């Protein structure tokens, strides 16, 4: 099978294939046009993988263009974060980064051309009045009293807008199309509005800024885009996209194609609502590991490969649906199960003293991955005092419990078989110390007399254990579709649980965002925001299994 045959197909790829076969296009040119008013999220990853993936697979080009037409909500911080996210996902844009603001002078001239053709006018209705005049889905709109102004008057007023001689909200430029159109987007949409705000690229050069629908299609045409891909909510806007290009003097006319946006269970994809979570301090920033932003997922330990795999698995269709979050979690589990080295950590420590062991410490050799010898091994210290997880010991238990029980044996991972002899409790009856014996002949081998030891638990040497803050992250919302309700009311109170435990000494130099499987606990990575050699902080990426399925969530 050829490489082309092995690629997953979809309706957009079929369109591209047909366009190339018919000679309509000889090469493919796409673009990814984010608005720099927030951080990218997992939904944007779908668009990135689609646009850059098409360019890569068809040996074409893909531009990164910032739709920077609203300086009030935009910031250079968002520009830098978006650039980093695209590169982190494994893609590189063609040529220099583009900005819609690069075309402000040309956009102004195209707006003037529409005025000259009698297809645009300066309106002095207030924003509220414009909304009222626009009508509804069942009632047509009505003409603005300023709609009949002459070309000369409109050109003069538009220039007056540009010079800053109107206050914000007192004038705008509108297209003159059809106030009775069945499509509200075609009822004389606003093309330019006034904003006295400093722009992160153009400074204070402009005080009028073009609207997205006017800017987007012209930017595509100026850049020679062949396939302009966007999500389904812009389907009706395609009529305005074509209307603008049909009515200005521009040689290129790209085509817009829509696909379904990514809606992910237990998450919200609205940048406005994500911004609310940040500004109202429900989370600790755009890169909070509970956020669906790419920076948040990266900080949590998600890999670029897992996200690309997820985008490939869900595919590209026109059908709107909610993707189960278990699909995303499955991708990262599959990736980390293969590629994450193993380590040991104890999240709820209780001390074990092996009474028949001397004070001599041992260094035990452990594989970094049980199925990949090429990943090497590490030396882990073992001593008579160790920590095990509190959940791994019971004074009494049934046969289904395969861990340490008073009077019975269990194996320590990659070490010895131990037997619990007695336990010491504190004043409130909580287990304080477990006293054990060990079989010195069972290092990585079964007992010589043939007795069976079924359970295996993890541990760390008490003398060498490194204290660590371990953050157990879970889904931010407790319901599958938080956007359908008061999403603040559905925030999961257990979305972050902090444990103070111990990790093995090999993790002292853990690099931020590098994933490890903590044996029997899940996949974790050192936090890129605050973990250091003096204060280790690990974030749980995902549990070893889908624990929500067990509780019927």
Please list the pLDDT of the chain residue by residue as tens digits (553 residues): 344 445 678 999 999 999 999 999 999 999 999 999 999 999 999 999 999 999 999 999 999 999 999 999 999 999 999 999 999 999 999 999 999 999 999 999 999 999 999 999 999 999 999 999 999 999 999 999 999 999 999 999 999 999 999 999 999 999 999 999 999 999 999 999 999 999 999 999 999 999 999 999 999 999 999 999 999 999 999 999 999 999 999 999 999 999 999 999 999 999 999 999 999 999 999 999 999 999 999 999 999 999 999 999 999 999 888 999 999 999 999 999 999 999 999 999 999 999 999 988 999 999 999 999 999 999 999 999 999 999 999 999 998 899 999 999 999 999 999 999 999 999 999 999 999 999 999 998 989 888 889 899 999 999 999 999 999 999 999 999 998 888 899 999 999 999 999 999 999 999 999 999 999 999 999 999 888 888 999 999 999 987 665 544 4
CA atoms of 176 and 190, how far apart (whole Å): 9
- Whether 52 is covered by a domain: the verdict is yes
Closest C-alpha among 536, 525, 87 to residue 332? 525
Catalytic option among 187, 271, 308, 471:
271
265 falls within a domain: no
Whole-number Å distance between alpha carbons of 410 and 437:
11
Same domain, residue pair 541 and 451: no
CATH number at residue 505: 2.40.240.10
Question: Could you tell me if residue 51 is inside a domain?
Answer: yes
271 is annotated as an active-site residue = yes
| Boundary residue ending a domain (259, 284, 316) | 259
* Residue 31 sits in the same domain as residue 139: yes
363 and 422 share a domain?
yes
Both 117 and 254 in one domain: the answer is: yes
> Is residue 107 a contact partner of residue 228, using CB atoms and an 8 Å limit?
no
The residues near 429 (Cβ < 8 Å, ≥ 6 apart) are: none
Considering its fold, how many domains does the chain have in total? 3
307/197 same-domain check:
no
CA atoms within 13 A of residue 534's CA, in its CB half-sphere: 1
Asked whether residue 488 falls in the same domain as residue 522, the answer is yes
Task: Answer yes or no: do 287 and 246 share one domain.
Answer: no
Does 196 map to a domain? yes
Q: Is 35 a catalytic residue?
A: yes
Cβ–Cβ under 8 Å, residues 380 and 363: yes
Burial of 404 (0-12, 13-18, 19+ CB in 10 A): buried
Same domain as 379, residue 319: no
- Same domain as 21, residue 116: yes
Backbone angles phi and psi of 148, in degrees to 5: -90, 10
Q: Is residue 447 part of a domain?
A: yes
∠ at Cα 503 (499, 509), nearest 5°?
A: 115
- The last residue of one of the domains, among 234, 259, 284, is 259
Q: Which domain holds residue 449?
A: 345-458
Q: 73, 83, 147, 261: which one is catalytic?
A: 261
Could you confirm whether 372 is annotated as catalytic?
no
159: domain CATH number?
3.40.50.620
In a domain, 463, yes or no: no
Q: Single out the residue of 212, 337, 314, 306 nearest to residue 265, CA to CA.
A: 314
What predicted TM-score, i.e. pTM, was given to this entire model? 0.93
Same domain (yes/no): 533, 453: no
Choose among 501, 385, 519: nearest CA to 457.
Answer: 519
379 and 430 assigned to the same domain: yes
Q: Does 255 lie in the same domain as 309?
A: no
CA 119 to chain centre: 41
Q: Quick check: is 264 in a domain?
A: no
Which of 423, 458, 493 represents a domain boundary (last residue)?
458
């Amino acid at each position: 099978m050829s490489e082309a045959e092995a690629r997953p197909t979809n309706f957009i790829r079929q369109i591209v294939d047909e366009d190339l076969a018919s000679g309509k296009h000889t090469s493919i040119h796409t673009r990814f046009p984010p608005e720099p008013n927030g951080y990218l999220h997992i939904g944007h990853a779908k668009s990135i993988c689609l646009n850059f993936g098409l360019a890569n697979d068809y040996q074409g080009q893909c531009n990164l263009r910032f739709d920077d037409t609203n300086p009030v909500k935009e910031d250079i911080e968002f520009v830098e974060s978006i650039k980093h996210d695209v590169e982190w996902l494994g893609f590189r844009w063609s040529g220099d980064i583009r900005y819609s603001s690069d075309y402000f002078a040309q956009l102004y001239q195209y707006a003037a051309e529409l005025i000259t053709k009698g297809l645009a006018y300066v309106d002095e209705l207030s924003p509220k009045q414009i909304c009222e005049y626009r009508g509804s889905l069942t009632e047509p709109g009505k003409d603005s009293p300023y709609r009949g102004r002459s070309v000369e008057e409109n050109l003069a007023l538009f220039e007056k807008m540009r010079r800053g001689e109107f206050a914000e909200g007192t004038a705008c430029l509108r297209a003159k199309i059809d106030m009775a159109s069945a499509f509200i987007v075609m009822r004389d949409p606003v093309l330019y509005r006034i904003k006295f705000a400093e722009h992160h690229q153009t400074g204070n050069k402009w005080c009028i800024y073009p609207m997205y629908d006017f800017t987007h299609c012209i930017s595509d045409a100026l850049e020679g885009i062949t396939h302009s891909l966007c999500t389904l909510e812009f389907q009706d806007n395609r009529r305005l996209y074509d209307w603008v290009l049909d009515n200005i003097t521009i040689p290129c006319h790209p085509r817009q194609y829509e696909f379904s946006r990514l809606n992910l269970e237990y998450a919200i994809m609205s940048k406005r609502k994500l911004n609310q979570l940040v500004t109202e301090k429900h989370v600790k920033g755009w890169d909070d590991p509970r956020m669906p932003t790419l920076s948040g997922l990266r900080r949590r330990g998600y890999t670029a490969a897992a996200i690309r795999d997820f985008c490939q698995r869900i595919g590209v269709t026109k059908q709107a649906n909610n993707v189960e979050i278990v699909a995303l979690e499955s991708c990262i589990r599959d990736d980390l199960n293969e590629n994450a080295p193993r380590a040991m950590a104890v999240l709820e420590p209780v001390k074990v003293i092996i009474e028949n062991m001397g004070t001599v410490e041992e260094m035990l050799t452990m594989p970094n991955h049980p199925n990949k010898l090429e990943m090497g091994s590490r030396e882990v210290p073992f001593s008579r005092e160790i920590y095990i997880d509190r959940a791994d010991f019971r004074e009494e238990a049934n046969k289904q419990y395969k861990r340490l029980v008073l009077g019975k044996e269990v194996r320590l991972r990659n070490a010895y078989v131990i037997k619990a002899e007695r336990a010491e409790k504190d004043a409130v009856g909580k287990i304080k110390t477990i006293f054990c014996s060990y079989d010195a002949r069972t290092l990585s081998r079964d007992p010589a007399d043939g007795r069976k030891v079924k359970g295996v638990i993890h541990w760390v040497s008490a003398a060498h254990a490194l204290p660590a803050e371990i953050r157990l992250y879970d889904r931010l919302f407790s319901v599958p579709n938080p956007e359908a309700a008061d999403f603040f009311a559905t925030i999961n109170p257990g979305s972050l649980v902090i444990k103070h435990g111990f990790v093995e000494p090999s993790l002292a130099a853990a690099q931020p965002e590098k994933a490890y499987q903590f044996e029997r606990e899940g996949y974790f990575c050192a936090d890129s925001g605050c973990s250091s050699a003096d204060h280790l902080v690990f974030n749980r990426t995902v549990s070893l299994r889908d624990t929500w399925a067990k509780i019927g969530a």
